[in-house]
């Protein structure tokens, strides 16, 4: 029997997560999104709330939660709050994803279509691994990390809390991405990126702190 699921966030990311959830045999019973009015439908799923605080206070029984927000800090905040309220978080792994038996995936994370996670990689809670990204052996993703579509990380790459890696980035073996750092789309990362720094280019260079 399919488990029921409510998703916070009905934007593009939320809609993708809803389809993954369906493939993972959840029944998506509603969205919560402040940009939409209660009663609207998004791809056939009703918007049941526009305020996440009210939603969590009135949580239905036997229902899981998935937080589908692109904002890393807010996604982690809500994901950490839910278990304190006795709400079970869903972890979504698309059936097409390849995840090594020795890898670990934290609660509230999503692995989208054609993601590859290789041996002894550890993925924290509330992470987003977008379409067709690959994390090779011994990778380390802290909580709240977001990896863009088509990113390719070689072995032993570490991503700090709430870091963001844009579309199509390549990372050489052993580099470290700092906490809340940002890597711009298409960059090639050949050196460590400090906490809170934005890098871009080939090779990636700091452009903003």
- Catalytic residue ranges: 137
Rounded to whole angstroms, the Cα distance separating 75 from 95 reads 23
Work out the burial of residue 53: count CB atoms within 10 Å of its CB; fewer than 13 is exposed, 13-18 middle, 19 or more buried.
Answer: exposed
Rounded to whole angstroms, the Cα distance separating 204 from 125 reads 27
Rounded to whole angstroms, the Cα distance separating 5 from 141 reads 25
Is there a cis peptide before residue 5, judged by omega within 30 degrees of 0? no
CA 170 to mean position of chain CA atoms: 19
Count of residues for the chain? 209
Q: For residue 133, what are its two tokens? A: 């990204």
Rounded to whole angstroms, the Cα distance separating 5 from 16 reads 14
């Amino acid at each position: 029997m399919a488990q029921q699921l409510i998703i916070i966030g009905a934007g593009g990311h939320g809609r993708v997560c809803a389809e993954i959830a369906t493939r993972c045999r959840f029944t998506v019973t509603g969205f919560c999104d402040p940009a939409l009015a209660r009663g609207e439908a998004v791809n056939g799923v009703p918007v049941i709330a526009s305020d996440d605080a009210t939603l969590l206070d009135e949580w239905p029984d036997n229902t899981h939660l998935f937080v589908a927000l692109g904002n890393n800090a807010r996604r982690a905040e809500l994901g950490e709050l839910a278990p304190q309220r006795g709400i079970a978080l869903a972890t979504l792994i698309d059936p097409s994803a390849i995840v090594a038996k020795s890898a670990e995936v934290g609660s509230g994370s999503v692995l989208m279509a054609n993601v590859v996670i290789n041996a002894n990689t550890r993925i924290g809670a509330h992470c987003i691994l977008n379409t067709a990204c690959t994390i090779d052996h011994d990778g380390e993703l802290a909580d709240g990390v977001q990896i863009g579509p088509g990113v390719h990380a070689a072995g032993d790459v570490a991503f700090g809390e709430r870091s963001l890696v844009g579309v199509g980035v390549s990372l050489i073996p052993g580099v470290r991405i700092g906490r809340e750092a940002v890597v711009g789309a298409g960059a090639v990362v050949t050196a460590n990126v400090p906490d809170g720094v934005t890098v871009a280019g080939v090779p990636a260079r700091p452009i903003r702190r």
